[in-house]
Amino acid sequence: MIISMPSTTTADINRRILQARKDGGVVALGRVMTLVIDATGADADFAIDTANVASREHPCRIIVMAPQDGDDDRLDAEIRVGGDAGASEVIVLRPSGEQVNHADTLVTPLLLPDAPIVAWWPAAVPSNASETGIGKMAQRRITDTKGEPNPGDTMCQLSRNYRDGDTDMAWTRLTRWRALLASALEQVTDQSVTKARVLGDPNSASILLLGAWLQSALDCEIELSYDDKLAGIHSIVLETPSGEIGIARPDGNHATLTQPRQPDHVIALPARTLGDCLAEELRRLDADLVYGDVLKFYKENR
């Protein structure tokens, strides 16, 4: 059910949510957090669909800031409950005029009481997420450098302004790659790595983060190679005294794992959906200290 509320207030929105629960038998039991989405410059409906996928694992209230053009100082809103909201309830705020500059004031009355707050920017990365109105109230702040014209500069900016609770989807997309590499390295006799080679998309922040992680964790030489015909990470090779450990994903879905003195293994390694990545980030509310250290290492050694 979608309820449209033109020219409204946050007080009216709260009243209408309560009424919708009474009228439709919709309950809000088990909501574990509030997810606030700053959809400025983004496709708000796509962001909502992504959040609904994640909400099936983490039932939550989703508040979406989707500013609209216009000089009129007004707030339009939508309430989505039931089948249109996954395992959540969705409040879409469409401010215009002066109200666009007061996102925190609009969001605060709609937060779930005594529940953690997570902020997500699916489009443009803010210059300092923790100092935005929404970022100040959130325990976790999720950005996405994918699509940034210069991901290296953006990562340096994120490093300068890093605060505990910050993370980025470019780092989340590396989770399975990092786990596979760590597991494969544990199985060789001599685990010292002399060189790591990474091949992939020339505009991928994930490759830059992966290179910084490998270099900082293994204290090895790093070689990043790019091919504009590729999307994301294509392959990783670790050179060790025992032989090469390699993971190659030529088709974007299946990877071949190569290890010294072992037969090759083909494993499922599909590119992760945005919903999967968001669900992973919502599992933890503590600081991702490894991400912070890798960001700092990248900036210092760029």
Do the Cβ atoms of 15 and 72 come closer than 8 Å? no
What would the mean pLDDT of 86-113 be, rounded to a whole number? 90
Least confident of 46-60, 164-178, 207-221: 46-60
Mean pLDDT of 2-7: 93
Which residues are within 8 A (CB) of 288 and not within 5 positions of it... i.e. 6 or more apart?
166, 167, 171
In contact, 170 and 179? CB cutoff 8 Å: no
Q: How many CB atoms lie within 10 A of CB 101?
A: 11
| Residue 28 pLDDT greater than 80, yes or no | no
pLDDT at site 87: 61
Residue 30 pLDDT exceeds 70: no
Spatial contact of 161 and 136, defined as CB atoms under 8 Å apart: no
Integer Cα distance of 141 and 118 in angstroms: 6
| pLDDT bucket at 17, cuts 50 / 70 / 90 | confident
**Dist CA 34 CA 27 (whole Å):** 16
Residues in Cβ contact with 188 at an 8 Å cutoff, skipping those fewer than 6 apart: 240, 242, 243, 245, 259, 260
The phi, psi pair for 87, rounded to 5°, reads: -100, 35
Return the closest-CA partner of residue 133 out of 211, 36, 53. 36
Supply the pLDDT for residue 32. Answer: 82
pLDDT score at 89: 87
Over residues 161-187, the mean pLDDT reads: 95
Lowest mean pLDDT among 170-174, 210-214, 249-253: 249-253
Rounded Cα distance, 273 and 56, in Å: 15
Q: Which two tokens stand for residue 232?
A: 């994301």
Label residue 252 by pLDDT band (50, 70, 90): confident
Least confident of 41-45, 197-201, 250-254: 250-254
CA distance 59 to 38: 19
Residue 27 in this model has a pLDDT that exceeds 70: no
Q: Alpha carbon of 152 to those of 8, 9, 122, 147, 288: distances in Å?
A: 42, 41, 18, 12, 20
Q: What is the mean pLDDT of residues 25-33?
A: 63
Kindly list the domain boundaries of the chain, sorted by start residue: 2-168, 175-268
The answer on pLDDT for 110 being more than 90 is: yes
Q: Which helix (H) or strand (E) holds 213?
A: helix 205-218
Question: Per-residue confidence at 215, pLDDT binned at 50, 70, 90?
Answer: very high
